[in-house]
Structure 1
Amino acid sequence: MILKLAKKYIPQIIRSKYVIAFLIFYVWLFFGDQHSIWERKEYESNIEALEKEKAYFLEKIEKDKKRIHELKTDKENLEKFAREQYLMKKKNEDIFIFIEED
C-alpha cells in the first residue's frame, strides 16, 4: 500500500537511489557529523573571539613595551613608577597613603 502511494505521489527523480543516497549524505553531513555545519559555525565564532582577544593582548604588549622603554630611559619616570606602584621612598622621606572610600 505504501509503495503504491509512494509511486503515485513521489516523482520518479526523487525515487532514484542516487538522489536518496545524496539526501541521506547531506542530512548526515549537515547534522550528524562531528564536522557538521553547526560545529563549523561554533568554531568560526570561537576563532573570531580569539582573534579579538589576540588583538587586545598585542595592543597591550605594545603599550607595555613603550612603558618599559620609558622606564629604562628616563630616571624620573622610573622613580615615579617605583613610588606609585611599590611605595618606595628616599631615605629622608615619609609616605602617606590616602585611600578613597566610596
Structure 2
Amino acid sequence: MDRFISLLKNKYFILSSAFFVWMLFFDRNDLLSQYEYRSQLNKLKEEKAFYIKETEQVRKDLDELTTNKERLEKFARERYHMKKDNEDIYVIVKPKPEKSDYSIF
C-alpha cells in the first residue's frame, strides 16, 4: 500500500498519467476522432472502387459505341427514343399505384 501511495505522489507519474488521459480523450486527435477518420477513409475507398469500376464500364461502352454501328443505333433508340423517318415509336409508361387516404399502411 505504501508503494501505491508513493507512486501517486510521484510527480512524473502524475504528469505522465495526465498527458496520457489528455491525449486519449481531450486532444484534437483523440481516439473517437481517429475511429471516425478511419471509418470515413474506408467509406471513401469503397466509393473510389465503385467509381473506378463505373468509369471502366463507361469507357468500354464508349469504345463499343464508336466502333459498332448497330450498337450505336440500338443505344440511340433505347435512350433517346430516336427513330427512322418511316417509323412510329410508342413509349409505354406504367402508372404508379396511387395511395388511398384510407390505407392502413
Aligned to 1:84: 78
Tell me how many residue pairs correspond in the alignment. 96
Q: Percent identity among equivalent residues? A: 39
The alignment partner of 1:13 has SS state of helix
CA-based RMSD: 1.8
Supply the AA of the counterpart residue of 1:73.
T
> 1:8 Cα shift?
5.9
Aligned to 2:45: 51
CA displacement, residues 39-97 of structure 1 (integer Å, 9 cap, x when unaligned): 11110000000000110110010111101011000000000000000000111111011
Q: Residues 13-92 of structure 1: matches in 2 within 5 Å?
A: 13-92=7-86
Structure 1 unpaired stretches of 5+: 1-6
- TM value normalised by structure 1: 0.86
Cα distance in 2 between the residues matched to 1:38 and 1:82: 51
Aligned to 1:100: 94
The alignment partner of 1:93 has SS state of coil
Supply the AA of the counterpart residue of 1:56.
F
Structure 2 unpaired stretches of 5+: 97-105
